[in-house]
Amino acid sequence: MTTTATKPAHPPGARPRAAITARTLRTDRWWLAPLLTVVGLTAWVGYAVFRTFMHQWYWVEDYHYLTPFYSPCITDRCIPEAAHFGTYLPGWWLIPEAAFSLPFPLLFRLTCYYYRKAYYRSYWLSPPACAVPDGHSRYTGETRFPLIFQNAHRYAFYAAFVISIINTYDAILAMHSPSGFGFGLGNVVLWGNVTLLWAYTISCHSCRHIIGGRLKHFSKHPIRYRAWTVVSRLNARHMELAWTTLATLAVTDFYIMAVAAGWISDLRIVG
């Protein structure tokens, strides 16, 4: 005779789970946050793709404004003055002007701990909210292909750090006018964007670990401790910074497009 060992449904002594047929007992608008996330992220990605393949209105010659969506500009299609680091790729329609840099911020955000939570909940419904069941019957976490690559986030952070330096360089070069030094509303927009991009980048969880992780005694590393406290304060605002920088990137790009296209004039303060 053979016996089959069956796993008890509940730990010994535990009370069985209530037989609830409802999918969730939540009566609040738990679906609103995932819905807004889908709308916000889809709109942003749509705009970014549209602008990336527009191939025009990314550079303002008089003031040297270069939109972050086209920086660094490295295809043969680039306006020579906007190609600060030279051109290396053919100017085919399918190749974005910033083909070198765009994948890295994208990877940085795609693997970001906050965005992971946001899109797992909203696009994959896994789960859509607390106390609401997963939209899928199986859950394998991030232990298998392709999601195991989410663990590469630390390396994406290093790349995003370099891209932030390039964005800062662009903002410095944009302090320009036809007569030399210049400053206008476009510079305010560019510097506001760069400052917030830095805040988002260094508020990253990986950055916090790189700065203050693996230390046994903070007292023996006062400089790292000070840096860690600053990063930790920003880290508490990581979600807000994630959304704010999406907005500032789009606003910066749109402003430069509008000036480059001649729809508006830049408001000049100096030069």
Q: Which residues bind ligand FES (CB under 6 A)?
A: 108, 112-114, 153, 157, 204-206, 238
Judge contact between 87 and 78, C-beta under 8 A: yes
Nearer to ligand FES, 64 or 109 (CB): 109
Q: What's the min distance (Å) between Cβ of 130 and ligand FES? A: 20
Return the number of the residue (82 or 246) whose C-beta is nearest ligand FES. 246
Query: Is the peptide bond preceding residue 96 cis, with omega within 30 degrees of 0?
Result: no
* Closest distance to ligand FES from the beta carbon of 205 (Å): 4
* Residue number, 112 or 257, with CB nearest to ligand FES: 112
> Which lies closer to ligand FES via its Cβ, residue 73 or residue 163?
163
CB of 161 to ligand FES, least distance (A): 11
Closest approach of ligand FES to the CB of residue 240, in Å: 12
Q: Residue 261 burial (CB < 10 Å; 0-12/13-18/19+)?
A: exposed
| Closest alpha carbon to 129 in 141, 121, 117 | 121
In the complex, what is the shortest distance from the CB of residue 95 to ligand FES, in angstroms, rounded to a whole number?
27
Nearer to ligand FES, 113 or 191 (CB): 113
Closest CA to 82 of 112, 60, 50: 60
Nearest to 28 by CA among 120, 137, 126, 129: 129
Residue matched to tokens 């070198």: 100
**Residue pair 71/167 in contact by the 8 Å Cβ criterion:** yes
